Amino acid sequence: MDLAPQIRRSGSFTQGNSVPLATPSRKENQPMRTREHLIKVHLTEEEATNIKSYAVACGLTQSALMRMLIRGHRPRPLPPTWFWAMLNDLYMIHGTLQHIEQQKLAALILQLQTAVTLPERIQHGSHKDMGG
């Protein structure tokens, strides 16, 4: 049984067989967000290929990749399957430890998972050229 919570790119947390542990919900009276603006960009073949392959490596659509980059976040490629197997093994060890050691190991696991999976914040200054 997979005991390790995993972060999916959608932002929800899962336990084992991808059962959501917590998912963001919108308020009932809040309208659904729509994206009404389409921006066409001329790219070289190499640029288009790079965007497509990076989006696939990160488990994102090209649109989601562009939105993250515009917001100042650089997504990381999805970790290999052995990474999740290793985290699962660490969580199994975690279950055999005393409370204080469990807390220490849990903190280390969270640091490792965060370092490998969460997008990096891009440090370019103020983004005034993009309206930010």
pLDDT tens figures, 94-117? 989 898 898 999 999 999 999 999
Buried b (16+ CB within 10 A) or exposed e, 17-45: eeeeeeeeeeeeeeeeeeeeeeeeeeeee
List the one residue out of 64, 18, 105, 30 whose CA is nearest residue 8: 18
List the one residue out of 62, 55, 15 whose CA is nearest residue 38: 62
State residue 23's pLDDT score. Answer: 45
**Residue 87 structure tokens:** 């985290």
**Residue range 4-20, pLDDT digits in tens:** 444 444 443 444 444 44
**Looking at the predicted structure, is the pLDDT value of residue 29 above 50?**
yes
**Looking at the predicted structure, is the pLDDT value of residue 70 above 60?**
yes
